[in-house]
A and B are shown apart, each in its own frame.
Chain A
Amino acid sequence: MDVGVDVSDRKRPEAPGDVDRHLDEMFNRLAGTGAAGRRALAEVEDHLRDAVADELTQGVPARQAERNAVARFGPPARIAGQLRRTHRVASGAVMLSGAWLLIGLAALMLAAIRLAKTLDVAIQLRLHPERLPRCVEQGTDPVPDGIAACGVDVLTGNGSARTGVIMLLLAVVLLASRWLAIRLAGLAPVPRRFPLLVAALVAASGIFLFLLHPITPYGQHLVGARGGVPFGWTGLWHQIIVSGLTLLTALITVGGYLVRTRQTRAREE
């Protein structure tokens, strides 16, 4: 087959020098280490090329310069092993840091949902104050007037409000302790793409919250509808607000990630 190349003119490939052989071995030994390994390999190549260039300026012959640079660098097995160990520990620390942040954010979101529900109930009670005495008299969960049942929760400090405050405190403790652990104990920050995971989870939870609640207003309340059983006595407007807020949070998170990525790229260029 004619491939348009004069084979007789083709030079025999040059035998790889010591530096290339060293880099090949590092490449093999760093296989599977992902971005950290690629970065390390790039640094090793920079280092060896610089070292050879230094030797050449001192009049050392090329082959000898490569041999010296590789000898001073150290055996690939040892260096690659140390790099692997460093990044194995690092990936464990990053997972811990990510899980810590995720639990903190989940607690924050639960707090927001429970407090929003409390607010929902408080507003409904304000709109329908005539139902409150009936509920207090019954002292139980009056199914037809679910809102009033929640009103008892609000007034006695039980249920949503209490859970919301506890979750809020938990979130503050988790997020503040993680911030301190990063500042004082050198806990690894999360990977650059972590916000995308958070955004996906937050968006999914927003959709989940909206879809699992009945959209049709129930009974005589126009928008303060009785919610589905798993979520208690929340109204439709509450669902819309909570779902909207979670989706907005997801969009802001993705936007922040894109801006940060663009800034980092601009800085690197």
Chain B
Amino acid sequence: MELRGHLDLLLLGTLHQTGPVHGYALIVALRDRSDGAFKLPEGTVYPALHRLERDGLIDSEWYTGKPRRRRVYRLTPSGAAALTAKRREWRTFARGVQAIVEPDVREGWA
């Protein structure tokens, strides 16, 4: 499934669920929680993470653990607020698409 335009929401949502986590674990969580629905080059997640950090929605720091130190990302309060706003947008968008693509199946999109 094409992820363009929704990657920020997915990353913020996954970080919200996992708590502080490093890049690889975040990608694994994204893959597992979506049942492998999204096909994206895993490397594209890092520019997105750096962009979200630049915008103040997440922050990160080096965490020294085994077997090596890692960059661990976490949601900031601004990121949590942005996630809430993006969820609202997503629901509106999904309702609109649903109404057009499958007009007979509108249950559950209240």
A→B interface (CB under 8 Å): 36, 39-40, 42-44, 46-47, 49-51, 54, 72-76, 78-79, 82-83, 85-87, 89-90, 93, 182-183, 186, 188-189, 264, 267-269
Count of A-B residue pairs with CB < 8 Å? 79
Scan residues 52-75 of chain B and give those whose CB is less than 8 A from a CB of chain A: 54-57, 61-64, 68, 70-71
Distance in angstroms between the alpha carbons of A264 and B57 in the assembled complex: 20
B62 to chain A, nearest CB (A): 5
Distance in angstroms between the alpha carbons of A42 and B61 in the assembled complex: 13
Apart from A44-B46, A83-B50, A186-B57, list 10 A-B contacts with CB within 8 A. A36-B50, A44-B43, A46-B22, A73-B41, A73-B42, A76-B43, A79-B43, A82-B44, A83-B46, A182-B56
A139 to chain B, nearest CB (A): 56
Q: B78 contacts which chain A residues (CB < 8 A)? A: 183, 186
Interface of A is mostly: helix
Q: Which residue of B lies closest to A85 (CB)?
A: B47
Q: Which residue of B lies closest to A183 (CB)?
A: B78
Interchain CB contact under 8 A, B42 and A267: no
Provided the pairs A47-B23, A50-B24, A186-B55 are in contact, do residues A269 and B64 lie with their beta carbons within 8 angstroms? yes
> Is there a chain A Cβ closer than 8 Å to B87's Cβ?
no
Distance in angstroms between the alpha carbons of A47 and B63 in the assembled complex: 15
> Is there a chain A Cβ closer than 8 Å to B88's Cβ?
no
Q: B41 contacts which chain A residues (CB < 8 A)? A: 72-75, 78-79
Q: B91 contacts which chain A residues (CB < 8 A)? A: none
> Is there a chain A Cβ closer than 8 Å to B95's Cβ?
no
Across the interface, B68 reaches (CB within 8 A) one of A39, A46, A72, namely A46
Q: A44 contacts which chain B residues (CB < 8 A)? A: 43, 46
Interchain CB contact under 8 A, A46 and B24: yes
B100 to chain A, nearest CB (A): 32
Provided the pairs A42-B71, A86-B47 are in contact, do residues A186 and B62 lie with their beta carbons within 8 angstroms? no
Interchain CB contact under 8 A, B23 and A46: yes
Across the interface, B50 reaches (CB within 8 A) one of A76, A78, A86, A183, namely A86
B93 to chain A, nearest CB (A): 22
Interchain CB contact under 8 A, B43 and A268: no
Q: Which residue of B lies closest to A74 (CB)?
A: B41
Q: B57 contacts which chain A residues (CB < 8 A)? A: 186
Interchain CB contact under 8 A, B47 and A79: yes
